[in-house]
Structure 1
Amino acid sequence: MGYSINTNQHTPFASIENEKLIVEICDSLSIGAAIENMILTATGYGLGTLWIANTCFAYNELMDFIGTDSQLTGIIAVGFADESPAKRPRKPLEEIVEYR
């Protein structure tokens, strides 16, 4: 079994009642997994991607452009990258993952 921990000690779901809380968290995790799978698939086709999670800056304009009244949870910009940045340095897994 694996799990991740929010080390910020704050949850945006704190004010939601328990039953709805479980649904909200599961939905958020499912959305994240779906977006990540879209990004991995696009990368496999040689496309560049950018996951734009914070759409609040232009939410109404984006909703009008998309033409829906559903809740917007994220946007993925997809296209051919103009550049290939060097890989960023990464910490070894042993420094950031704890197995129990």
Structure 2
Amino acid sequence: MTGAALSPADAATLAAALRAIADPTRLRLLSLIGAHAGGEACVCDLTGEFDLSGPTISHHLKVLREAGLITGERRGTWIYYRVVRDTLAALSQALSPATHELEVTA
């Protein structure tokens, strides 16, 4: 974070997203959703990947959704999740060092 300083609002948003992905289960869920064919995954595609109950998976998905990292769309009885690429790009940008041109003196 060597670019411009974060505003208080940006810092709060960034902190919420980082807290959400700091959990290994949520980080893996985010990865599975992003890597799934078509860029979206049904909750039924995700639950078999974990040794966790359905309500626990739902809780983790809710945390990711509230942090703005995924969106969910109900289709019939299933909810399909998609990664919010703009949020991931903002996280990446905030954590990437700024490039500064070096002044060369002879």
User: Which structure has more RCO (C-alpha within 8 Å, separation ≥ 6)?
Assistant: 2
Q: TM-score, normalised by structure 1?
A: 0.26
Q: Which structure has greater helix proportion?
A: 2
Q: TM-score, normalised by structure 2?
A: 0.25
